[in-house]
Amino acid sequence: MKTRSLLPLAALWLAASAAQALPSGAAATAASKAVRGCHLPGVTDTLRCVTIDVPVDHAKPGGDKLKIHVTIAPAHRQGTRGDPLFVLAGGPGEAGSDVAPLLSTAFNRVRATRDIVFIDQRGTGRSGKLDCKSKPEHERMTEDQLEAELRSCIAATKAPFAAYTTDAAARDIEAVRTALGYGTVNVFGGSYGTRLGQAYARLYPQSVRSLVLDGVAAPDQVIPAGAKDGQAALDKLFAQCAKDAGCNKTYPNLRAEYEGLVAKLEAAPLKLNLPDPRTAQPVEITMTASRFLGTVHGILYSPADARRLPFLVHSAAQGRWQPFIARQNLSGDFGGEGHIATLLHFAVVCAEDVPRMTPELLAADKGKLTKTLADKIPSLCKALNVPAVPYKEPARIEAPALLLSGALDPVTPPHRAETAAKYMSRAQHVVVDNVGHGVSQLGCAPRLLRAFLDKPQDKLDAACLKEIPPPTFQLGSFGPQP
C-alpha cells in the first residue's frame, strides 16, 4: 500500500459485479438513490460509488456541507456477512479510492463474504481533494522556489484548513456507516489510517466490531519526528549487506560511501548535467542533501526497493547519478490522480503533530533522514494558520485488534505498535521479519485477514508469515540477483 507521508511538490521541497446491492435498511434505501456503478484505476470489476454529505463542522450539523466519496466492492457471496470492512488509507492525504487495487491482493479472501468499503477521507481523492498542482519543472526548482510554490498554493486555497482534522474524519466515517445502513463494522487502517482507525474506535466504540492496523502509528507518535526510526532501518540495511556475501563483496565500503555523499551534499549542492531519465534530453539537476536523504527514506519503505539502495549509493559515489535520479523521480511523478493530497497532509500534521514537536523530542530524534521535514515544516504551518489540536490521553479500545508490523519499517516500526497496544484490551501484535511498511498484501497475510475477521476473538496462528523471504540485493545494472 502506498503510504508515503509527502507528495510530489511537497516531497521535492522537503526531499528536494455491479448488480449487487448495498446493505439493507432504511438508511441504505435512502442512500442508494445516489449509488452508481463506477470503475477505479487498477480494478477490473464494476464497483458501486456513492457520495454522502457531511457537515464541514460536526458541531454545526445544519451548516455547510462536504461531499464524502465512498466506493463499495460488494461481497462475492450475498447475504453471508453483515459486517463490512471499512478501509482507511495512509498519508495523511491518501484516499481510499487510491488503494482499491488492494481488492485483488490484501482483501481478495475477505471480499468473499464481506463488502469492502473504501472511504475517501475529507480533503482526499474524490472528497474535495486539497492539493497543489504538480508540474515537471518542479524537479528543477531550488528548494526556496518550491517553498514559494507551496506558499502560493496555500494562499490560493479557500478551504477551512482547521476543519480537516483526524477527529472530523472519524466523525465522517460514522456518518458513512449510518447512511449506508450498516451495523457494526470492521476497520482496516494502513499507516496514517491506523491513527484514524484508532480515533474512530475511541469515538464510536459501539460501531466497531474489530480493527486491523497495518503499519501502526502510536497515539503519541509525531509524524515529522521520524529520524531515529528511519536511521534504524538504514542501519539494518547496511548490516544485512555486510552479512550478504555478494553485497559485501560488491559494496565493501557501502556505509562510508553513503556518509561521504551526505557530507558532500551538506557542504554544497551538486549540479548534475545528465540525460533526463524520462526523455533522454540533457538536463541540469541540483542534488541537495535534503533531496538525497528524502529519497533514501522513501526507498526504505519497501525491502525490495531497499535492496537496490546499495547499488544506487555506490553508483552515485562513483559519479553516476542517473539510477538514483530515476528512482527519485518515482516519488514525484506527474500521475496526478493517485497522489497524496498535499494540503490535507499539512492541515493534519500542522494541527496535530507540529504542536508536539518539543525541543526535547527533536533532540532525542537522532538521525538525518527526516530532519529537513522537522526543521522546515513549522514555518510552513504558520501559512496554514490552523489551531493546535490538544493531545489527549488515549481511551482504551475494547474491540479485538490485529496489529501488523514489518521489522524493517522505517516509519512505523514494531515499537510503535507495542505502544499502541498498551491502550487496547484485546490486541494481537504480529511482527514480520523480512517486511517493511505494509504487511497485508504479502505472503499468507490475505488469508490471515479473513481468519481474523471471521473469529477476531481467537488467537491467530501467523507462523506462515515467517516464510516471506528477504529480497535479493541488486549488484549491478541488470537488477536484483535471481
pLDDT for position 29: 40
Grid cell 526510526 is found at 229
Q: What's CA 321's distance to the chain center, in Å?
A: 27
Instruction: Give the 3-state secondary structure of the chain.
Output: CCCCCCCHHHHHHHCCCCCCCCCCCHHHHHHHCCCEEECCCCCCCCEEEEEEEEECCCCCCCCCEEEEEEEEECCCCCCCCCCCEEEECCCCCCCHHHHHHHHHCCCCCHHHCCCEEEECCCCCCCCCCCCCCCCHHHHHCCHHHHHHHHHHHHHHCCCCHHHCCHHHHHHHHHHHHHHCCCCCEEEEEECHHHHHHHHHHHHCHHHEEEEEEECCCCCCCCCCCCHHHHHHHHHHHHHHHHHCHHHHHHCCCHHHHHHHHHHHHHHCCEEEEEECCCCCCEEEEEECHHHHHHHHHHHCCCHHHHCCHHHHHHHHHCCCCHHHHHHHHHCCCCCCCCCCCHHHHHHHHHHHCHHHCCHHHHHHCCCCCCHHHHHHHHHHHHHHCCCCCCCCCCCCECCCEEEEEECCCCCCCHHHHHHHHCCECCEEEEEECCCCCCCCCCCCHHHHHHHHHHCCCCCCCCHHHHHCCCCCCECCCCCECC
Q: List per-residue pLDDT tens for the chain, 482 residues long.
A: 344 443 334 444 444 333 333 443 333 443 444 789 999 999 998 999 999 999 999 999 999 999 999 999 999 987 677 899 999 999 999 999 999 999 999 999 999 999 999 999 999 999 999 999 877 777 677 788 888 999 999 999 999 999 999 999 999 999 999 999 999 999 999 999 999 999 999 999 999 999 999 999 999 999 999 999 999 999 999 999 999 999 999 999 999 999 999 999 999 999 988 877 667 788 888 899 999 999 999 999 999 999 999 999 999 999 999 999 988 877 654 344 458 999 999 999 999 999 999 999 999 999 999 988 888 999 999 999 999 999 999 999 999 999 999 999 999 999 999 999 999 999 999 999 999 999 999 999 999 999 999 999 999 999 999 999 999 999 998 877 66
Return the pLDDT at 277. Answer: 66
DSSP structure class, residue 205: G
DSSP H helical ranges for 270-401: 289-299, 303-306, 309-317, 322-330, 342-352, 359-364, 371-384
- All 3 cell numbers of residue 404? 501488523
Task: Say what the pLDDT of residue 477 is.
Answer: 86
Cis amide linkage into residue 378, ω under 30° from 0 = no
Q: What dihedral do alpha carbons 29, 122, 67, 200 form, nearest 10°? A: 30
As to burial, measured by CB atoms within 10 angstroms (0-12 exposed, 13-18 middle, 19+ buried), residue 44 is exposed
The second-level CATH assignment, the architecture, of 8-221+392-467 is: 3-Layer(aba) Sandwich (3.40)
pLDDT reported for residue 31: 47
SS3 120: coil
For residue 62, give Cα distances in angstroms to 57, 164, 251, 367.
9, 18, 63, 48
119 pairs with which residues across the strands?
70
Q: What is the pTM of this model?
A: 0.91
Domain ranges of the chain: 8-221+392-467, 227-330
From residue 303, alpha-carbon distances to 77, 236, 327, 467 in Å are: 36, 11, 15, 15
CA angle 147, 150, 151 (to 5 degrees): 90
Chain centroid to CA 474: 26
Distance CA 190, CA 177 (A): 19
